[in-house]
Chain A
Amino acid sequence: MWEEYSIGLLGVLLCGVIAFVALAIEKDDLHRLLLIDLVEIPSLGIVALLATDLAEALILPGLVVGIAELLALSQIYLVKEGLKEQPEGRLHIEVIEYADAPLILSLFLVVYGIILSGFTGGGVAGLGVVFYFMSRGYKEDLSLLEAAAGISWAIWIVSFFVFMFLPQYWLLAVFGAGGGILLKVIAKMSLVGTMWGRSHE
């Protein structure tokens, strides 16, 4: 087992070294931004080599931190390069814009996500909502969605406090945490890419 771990570690570190060398050679800021995402992946690889359920619990925050830093950096890049134009992100395909298929697909994903519940379910349902927004565009006020994300996050945290300080109400806390993280991930994922520059309007 140790031998396999060592070989894996060696492989991941090699990937890391290659990525860092690329980062050192590259001079263009945008390419650096893309390469830094590549550098992130070996760090998740080292954690994943643990191959226990602890690794799963550690990868998630690691991934979230990486994405958060990447989003922040790309925002800084946009501001410092003075890129203000809103990208025309929508696909002008008749089937996607007018047919019922995207609605049915995203409905299926949302329902299936709610059945799964928890973080995975949130991811699946969020994907459905993102797909719907991408295909139909959006004109709605998204502040309600933001509020929902915040409140469900608070429910999630409160449930964890129940686990720690009032363990006899664990069932309530399980439902609170499962539902809270489901709502939060749906809301947060559906906001990705749709909030572009709208906060100042």
Chain B
Amino acid sequence: MSSVGGTPLFLLEFGDIVMYFTPYTTSLFILALVFTCIVILSRPENQLDIIFGSDGYYTKETEVEELRFRRFMSIACGLACLGATVTGDVFDFTLFVSLVGITNVGIVAAVRSRHVQNAAFQYGIVALAGTVPLFGGAAIVAATNGTLSMIELSARTMSGVPLIAKALLTLGVMGEGMAPFYAAKAEMFRAPGAPYVIMCSLSSLLIFLRVVEVIITM
């Protein structure tokens, strides 16, 4: 098998589900792993708000409980990213991606601010709607080819995956990895707890990079 990501360095087989580590997926995997470790080890920031036009400032109180939940969600998000970057099965990929979507919602939704929760709710609706094209795309791949294994799909000389399946898959990943586009909703990112919010952006970046490889390989 030779794909756009290079020849696999090694394959990890779980029954018929094969994880494959090409130079491309391995680098994504390492990035996700390093950032998950950073999230586990780092201590969250304390946010300061400066009172405009004066030297005064006040600190925002953040409950330990809230930060603990957000750290848990960030770690779960990192683990989902690890899976999404190396899995060799299209449906597995969609499941990991939707897991990334859920955990991203969880990371922002724990913040006790009405504005942030409003943003999280809207984002959650987009993420949930994103599962429709995501699963739809994977199901059409299975229906037209009889297999979901990316290795088998890439081995075929004639690509049997219809364009609509690829388009739906991409659309679904866009829906799940919506978080960075919500940067316009400043409330979501002004919430305290630095390393955790970054996890949203990083995980979206990783799944976008992976879906490009998946689409070209198929």
Interface positions of A (Cβ within 8 A of B): 5, 9, 16, 20, 23, 29, 32-33, 36, 39-40, 42-44, 46-47, 49-50, 54-55, 58, 61-62, 65-66, 68-70, 72-73, 75-77, 79-80, 163-164
Contact = CB atoms under 8 A, between A and B. Distances in A.
Contacts of A39: 128-129, 132
Instruction: Tell me the interface secondary structure of chain B in the complex.
Output: helix
Nearest to A16: B132
Nearest to B143: A50
7 contacts: A5-B143, A16-B136, A40-B128, A65-B95, A72-B124, A79-B109, A164-B15
Among B91, B109, B133, B139, residue most surrounded by chain A Cβ atoms (within 10 Å): B139
Contacts of A54: 142, 148
Nearest to B98: A65
Interface residues of B, number: 34
B125 A73 contact: yes
B84 interface: no
B120 interface: yes
A64 to B, nearest CB: 9
Contact of B135 (A5, A47, A77): A47
A49 B101 contact: no
Contacts of B140: 9, 46
Among A32, A33, A36, residue most surrounded by chain B Cβ atoms (within 10 Å): A36
Contacts of A46: 135-136, 139-140
Interface of B: 13-15, 91, 95, 98-99, 101-102, 105-106, 109, 114, 117-118, 120-121, 124-125, 127-129, 131-136, 138-140, 142-143, 148
B129 A20 contact: yes
B139 A79 contact: no
Contact of B128 (A61, A70, A164): A70
A59 B109 CA distance: 27
A73 B98 contact: no
Given A47-B139, A164-B14, A72 B121 contact: no
Among B14, B125, B140, residue most surrounded by chain A Cβ atoms (within 10 Å): B125
